[in-house]
Amino acid sequence: MRILHICIGNPFTETMYYKENYFIEANLLDGHKPIILADTTKWEQNNIVEVGTCDRILENGARLVRVNLKKIGGRRITMKLRIVEEFVDSSFFTAGCYFIS
Protein backbone atom coordinates (compact mmCIF):
# COMPACT_ATOMS: atom_id res chain seq x y z
CA MET A 1 0.00 0.00 0.00
CA ARG A 2 1.16 3.54 -0.69
CA ILE A 3 1.20 5.63 2.48
CA LEU A 4 1.34 9.41 2.21
CA HIS A 5 2.98 11.39 5.01
CA ILE A 6 1.95 15.05 4.88
CA CYS A 7 4.59 17.02 6.78
CA ILE A 8 2.87 20.30 7.55
CA GLY A 9 4.05 21.14 11.06
CA ASN A 10 7.78 21.56 10.64
CA PRO A 11 10.66 21.17 8.18
CA PHE A 12 11.24 17.60 6.99
CA THR A 13 14.84 16.41 7.35
CA GLU A 14 15.40 12.91 5.99
CA THR A 15 18.48 12.29 8.15
CA MET A 16 16.83 13.38 11.41
CA TYR A 17 14.99 10.58 13.19
CA TYR A 18 12.02 12.37 14.65
CA LYS A 19 8.25 11.80 14.33
CA GLU A 20 7.41 11.03 10.71
CA ASN A 21 10.86 9.55 10.06
CA TYR A 22 10.06 6.69 12.47
CA PHE A 23 6.69 6.11 10.78
CA ILE A 24 8.38 6.02 7.37
CA GLU A 25 10.91 3.42 8.52
CA ALA A 26 8.11 1.31 10.02
CA ASN A 27 6.16 1.55 6.74
CA LEU A 28 9.19 0.33 4.79
CA LEU A 29 9.76 -2.57 7.19
CA ASP A 30 6.10 -3.58 6.72
CA GLY A 31 6.55 -3.63 2.94
CA HIS A 32 4.63 -0.42 2.15
CA LYS A 33 5.63 2.38 -0.23
CA PRO A 34 5.76 5.63 1.77
CA ILE A 35 5.60 9.02 0.07
CA ILE A 36 6.59 12.17 1.96
CA LEU A 37 4.95 15.45 0.96
CA ALA A 38 6.93 18.31 2.49
CA ASP A 39 7.78 21.92 1.89
CA THR A 40 11.21 23.15 0.77
CA THR A 41 12.84 23.49 4.20
CA LYS A 42 14.89 21.21 6.43
CA TRP A 43 17.12 21.41 9.50
CA GLU A 44 20.84 21.82 8.92
CA GLN A 45 23.32 22.62 11.71
CA ASN A 46 20.59 23.95 14.06
CA ASN A 47 19.09 26.21 11.38
CA ILE A 48 16.14 25.87 9.05
CA VAL A 49 17.44 26.07 5.48
CA GLU A 50 15.81 26.23 2.05
CA VAL A 51 16.52 23.18 -0.14
CA GLY A 52 14.29 23.68 -3.17
CA THR A 53 11.65 21.49 -4.76
CA CYS A 54 12.26 17.85 -5.64
CA ASP A 55 10.66 14.53 -6.43
CA ARG A 56 13.16 11.79 -5.67
CA ILE A 57 13.65 8.42 -4.05
CA LEU A 58 15.56 8.50 -0.76
CA GLU A 59 18.28 5.99 0.11
CA ASN A 60 15.80 3.98 2.18
CA GLY A 61 13.39 3.67 -0.77
CA ALA A 62 10.78 6.23 0.30
CA ARG A 63 9.70 8.88 -2.20
CA LEU A 64 10.21 12.52 -1.17
CA VAL A 65 8.17 15.23 -2.89
CA ARG A 66 9.03 18.79 -1.86
CA VAL A 67 6.72 21.57 -3.00
CA ASN A 68 7.27 25.31 -2.72
CA LEU A 69 4.59 26.68 -0.40
CA LYS A 70 5.17 30.15 0.94
CA LYS A 71 1.61 30.85 2.09
CA ILE A 72 0.85 30.89 5.81
CA GLY A 73 -1.94 29.23 7.76
CA GLY A 74 -4.94 27.39 6.32
CA ARG A 75 -4.15 28.34 2.72
CA ARG A 76 -0.81 26.53 2.97
CA ILE A 77 -2.47 23.36 4.23
CA THR A 78 -5.18 23.61 1.57
CA MET A 79 -2.54 23.89 -1.17
CA LYS A 80 -0.77 20.77 0.09
CA LEU A 81 -4.03 18.83 0.18
CA ARG A 82 -4.74 19.82 -3.43
CA ILE A 83 -1.34 18.45 -4.42
CA VAL A 84 -2.24 15.24 -2.56
CA GLU A 85 -4.94 14.50 -5.16
CA GLU A 86 -2.18 13.12 -7.42
CA PHE A 87 -1.43 10.41 -4.86
CA VAL A 88 -4.96 9.49 -3.77
CA ASP A 89 -6.20 5.96 -4.34
CA SER A 90 -5.91 3.46 -1.50
CA SER A 91 -3.45 5.64 0.41
CA PHE A 92 -3.56 6.18 4.14
CA PHE A 93 -2.76 9.73 5.16
CA THR A 94 -0.67 10.90 8.10
CA ALA A 95 0.12 14.40 9.26
CA GLY A 96 2.86 14.30 11.87
CA CYS A 97 1.38 12.24 14.68
CA TYR A 98 -2.21 12.74 13.52
CA PHE A 99 -3.83 10.10 11.33
CA ILE A 100 -6.60 10.88 8.86
CA SER A 101 -8.19 8.02 6.92
**Digit-coded pLDDT (tens) for 27-55:** 999 998 888 888 889 999 999 999 988 99
pLDDT higher at 81 or 36: 36
What residue numbers bound the domain in which 79 lies? 2-100
pLDDT digit string, tens, across residues 52-72: 889 999 999 999 988 877 654
According to the model, what pLDDT value does residue 14 have?
84
The pLDDT value given to residue 47: 94
List CB contacts of 63: < 8 A, sequence separation 6 or more. 33, 34, 35, 36, 55, 56, 57
How many domains, in total, are found in the chain? 1
**Alpha carbon distance 18, 7 (integer Å):** 12
